[in-house]
Each structure stands twice: as structure tokens, then as C-alpha cells.
Amino acid sequence: MKNYVIMRLLATVPLLLGISFLCFVFINLIPSDPAEVALRIRQTPVITEELIAQTRAELGLDQPFLVRYFQWLWDCLHFDLGVSYTNPARTVLGEIGRCLPATLELAGLSLVYVIVLSLPIGFLSAVYKDTWFDRIMRGFVFATTAMPVYWVGLLLIWLISIRLDLLPTSGYGSFAHLILPAFTVALSYISTYIRLIRNNMLENMREDYVLYAQARGLKQRAILVRHILKNSLQSCVTAIGMSIPQLIAGTIVVENVFAWPGVGRLCIASIFNRDYPVIQAYVLLVGVLFVFFNLAFDILQYAADPRLRERKA
């Protein structure tokens, strides 16, 4: 177990290096001069060639590509993610730190929605397979996976906020502001997990251990919850592990629809402003989240499944 964790931790190092390098390459392929854009955003009245050259030197953009990459990497290792190009008074770390709580609130509530809704619905859909309940839920799953997130967001704003006037349309502040955007983020995950849990349960129902549990005279409810549901959730645990960073990264569209001041909006603004250090930091953050959660949930599954635990112990 200990060896396994150490091995997995070591394996994340090349992975993160790869992610950071790729992200650096792609960002530098954006075809416009970040120095020029930065000057424009700082509202410099007259932008001359000299001024651009001077800014390029200031931002270190006159260095060759690889030098810049290793400089950035070296700074990253010292937890220095640089300074925003557009606003030199702000550090990237500070910007991310300012916006991250809002995104975590959003992703956190979405996760609660996902678990609270998909678990009972998936369970009941499997138990009452082919009844009206299951049919309605299958329609719901089909519809919500087919609809793009931003459109669902707009529909919800139109229906709940404008027509019914129940919740604020957008912005940040109270819990009421959080409900709609979080539901929008959660919706496609809810459908995914309803289907996953339903199918896992139906698959498990055909297993020998279920027949034997019935032959032993156990109560049907105990078989469903203690045995079938628990076995069905095994594979969901890894999936949830991947979904958490996806939720955090996936807020990017919804944050823009609902004017939610999180890292997603920060990232979009930075892309428009060619603010390289912020974009790089965001991509790196998401990469680290994926690697970390993947690792954490693999370990968690180890702890939960006696068969896996045995093999690697």
C-alpha cells in the first residue's frame, strides 16, 4: 500500500511536466503580441514600437521560448506564478486565490446536487425498471445529456428567474445566487450518474451472489441496499474522483453565463487579454487537480475493495 502510493506520486512528476510544457506551447501559439495587448489594456495613449519592445523586455518576452519555459517552471517550483501582464500590481497567485473560492462554492454545491439526486434516482430507476418512473427518468437523462450547458443555463434563467421570478438571474452574493448556476453545472453529471448507477445495479442483479442472497432468504430491501447498491457504487467512486476536477474546470462556461466571479471567468478574461501567466496558472491548476483526484480516488478504492487491497499489499 505504502509502496503503491509512493510509486503513484512519483509517476505524477513527468505527467505534470508534460501538462505544463504542452500548455506553455499552445499558449505561445496564440497569434498576437501579448505586450501590445497588455499596453492597450493598460490604456496607454500612444503605443509606439519602442514602447512595445520595452514592454516585451519587461515581461521577459524577448527571451527564447525554452528559456522562458524553464524560467517559468523554476518559478513555479518556488510557488511563484508570476505577475499579470495586464496589471503588474497583481500577482497571478493572488488573482487565482481571489477567484478560486467562488468556483469551489459552485463546484461544491454541484457535487452535492449530483450525489443527492443521482443516487436515489439511479437506484429507483433500477429497482422500478421499465415502470413510468424509469421511463420518465430515461427521457430526462436523454434530454439533459443532449443539451449543451450554456443553453440549459439560459433556459433556466428564462424559466426560473424571469418567468417565475424565483431566483436572481446572475451575479454573486447570497446562497440564492448559487442555486441555479450550480444546478446547471450539475445537470449533465446527474444524468451520467443516474445512468451509471442504474446500469451497474441492473448488471449486479444478475450476479450469482444476488441469487444466493435470495436463496438464503434475505430481505429484498437488504439485498438491494447492502449488496447490489454497494457493489454498484464501486465503479462510481472512481468516476466521481474524475468528476470533481471536471466540475471545477467545467464551471468555465456556466460562470460566464451567470456572471459568476470564479477562476473560469478569470481564465476567459485572461485569454482575451493575452495574459499568459494567468492562463498558464489556470491550466496548471486544472492539471494538478485532475492528477491529484485521480490518485486520491484510486487509493480510496484500494481501501474500499478487499480484493484490490489484497493484491498490492
Total binding residues for other proteins by CB under 8 A?
23
Contact call for residues 125 and 134 (beta carbons, < 8 A): yes
Shortest Å, Cβ 5 to other proteins? 22
Q: Is the distance from CB of 144 to CB of 190 less than 8 angstroms? A: yes
Among 280, 258, 66, 279, CA closest to 152: 258
Q: Give the closest residue to 204 by CA, choosing from 235, 237, 222, 229.
A: 229
Cβ-based nearer residue to other proteins, 160 or 210 = 210
5 binds other proteins (CB under 8 A): no
CB of 227: closest distance to other proteins in angstroms?
5
CA torsion 45→49→54→55, rounded to 10°?
A: 60
d(CA 265, CA 268): 5
In whole angstroms, how close is the CB of 228 to other proteins at the nearest point?
9
| Residue 306 in contact with other proteins, rule: CB under 8 A | yes
Find the shortest distance in angstroms from Cβ 269 to other proteins: 48
Listed as own residue / partner, the contacts of 292-296 with beta carbons closer than 8 Å and 24 or more positions apart are 292/12, 292/245, 293/241, 293/242, 293/244, 293/245, 294/241, 294/242, 295/8, 295/9, 295/12, 296/241
Q: Which one of the spans 64-72, 172-180, 270-278, 303-311 is the region binding other proteins (CB under 8 A)?
A: 303-311
Nearer to other proteins by Cβ, of 135 and 226: the residue is: 226
Q: Which is nearer to other proteins, 12 or 234 (CB)?
A: 234
What single-letter amino acid sits at 149?
V
**Binding window for other proteins (CB under 8 A); candidates: 94-102, 152-160, 255-263, 305-313:** 305-313
| CA–CA separation, 172 and 238 (whole Å) | 32
Residue type, 96: I
191, 140 contact by CB (below 8 A)? yes
Nearest distance, CB of residue 300 and other proteins, angstroms: 14
Contact 180, 101 (CB under 8 A): no
- Cell 506551447: give the residue: 25
User: Site map for other proteins, 48-77, x if CB under 8 A?
Assistant: ------------------------------
Nearer to other proteins, 42 or 226 (CB): 226
Least distance to other proteins from the beta carbon of 238, Å? Answer: 15
| Nearest residue (CB) to other proteins, 124 versus 149 | 124
- Please, which of residues 196-255 interact with other proteins by CB under 8 A? 207-209, 211-220, 222, 226-227, 230-231, 234
Instruction: Tell me how far, at minimum, the Cβ of 221 lies from other proteins, in Å.
Output: 11
- Name which of 76 and 218 has its Cβ closer to other proteins: 218
Residue 203 CB, shortest distance to other proteins, in Å, is: 13
Q: How far apart are CA 195 and CA 202, in angstroms?
A: 11
| Footprint on this chain of other proteins (rule: CB under 8 A) | 207-209, 211-220, 222, 226-227, 230-231, 234, 305-307, 310
